[in-house]
Structure formats: structure tokens, C-alpha cells
Amino acid sequence: MKTIVVFFKKLVLHRRACLLTATLLVVTLSLGAQAPKSGITRTLSDVQFPAGEGPDCLQFFLENGDMKTGPSTAIMKANPGCVIAPHYHTAEEQLIIVKGDVSTGMEGMKDTVLGPGGFAMMPSKAVHWFTCTKKEECLMFVTFDRAYDIVWVNRK
């Protein structure tokens, strides 16, 4: 009889533990659930480039996401002749050229000039650089797969 009582006590404890786990899972999922995102449409003429925190010849406009906390997409405008020195990001960066010619390179790779439609992907912490090479400004979309940071690399 004592064995049956112990068995039922364990069964009740097990059921309570399962119920508590299920409740915690539901609460966690409901707290983490976010409202559906709204879509975004924007013409290029609607983009107002603010002065940036980087070099004076480069301006960023955030299109989507949050550069401080997670993935993001921005549009960048570089003045003709703008040189962005070697640097890297913790995030993976993807670059798509819309206008102008951009000479870009990464450590271990030969520099390449990319025109409109050109694409580059810089892995996390890969040192890279670029220059807007033509007489016209360069326009690029850039995406980061996580929070944005920049580490400038001193070359002697």
C-alpha cells in the first residue's frame, strides 16, 4: 500500500512539474510574440540623408531595422572620391551598388571595382575598405545581420 501511495505522490508531482513547464512556455512565447511588422515603401527622393557619425564624405539613412540592436538595412551616399579606410564590423555586411563605381577590397582579396548592381559580402570581422571612384556620387544599400559596430584598423 505504501508503494502505491509513493507512486501517486510522484505522479502528482510529475504532473505539477509538467503543468508548470507548460505554463512557463506559454507565458514566454506570449511575451516574446510581437505584432506583425508593417511593410515599408519609400522612393529615393523621400530619403533625407542626415550628417553621419563617420567620415564627412559618407551619409547613412536607415531603411529598416535597428542598427544598435539587430539586423538592419541602410542606404549610403558617398561623395565622389570618398575613401573609407580599412575597418571591420562584428556583423556580416552585404553591399549592393545602385549608382557610381565603388572600388572595394578585403584582406586576402584583390580590390574590385563594382558598378550598379555590383555586390559584395564581408564576413564578420573581415577587414575591408572602399572608395567612391567616379566623378559622380555613389549610392549603395548595406545590410548588417546583427547590431552595427565599426572598428577602424590602423595601417602603418
Domain residue ranges of the chain, discontinuous segments joined by +? 1-33, 44-152
pLDDT for residue 131 = 97
The fold of 44-152 is Jelly Rolls (2.60.120)
Give Cβ neighbours of residue 153 (< 8 Å, ≥ 6 apart). Answer: 85, 86, 87, 88, 127
Confidence grade of residue 17 (pLDDT, cut at 50, 70, 90): very low
Q: How far apart are CA 19 and CA 23, in angstroms?
A: 6
What distances in angstroms separate CA 60 from CA 8, 27, 81, one per listed residue? 65, 39, 17
Give Cβ neighbours of residue 90 (< 8 Å, ≥ 6 apart). Answer: 124, 125, 146, 147, 149
pLDDT-wise least confident of 48-57, 90-99, 142-151: 48-57
Consecutive H or E run containing 150: none
% the chain with pLDDT above 70: 74
Confidence grade of residue 154 (pLDDT, cut at 50, 70, 90): confident
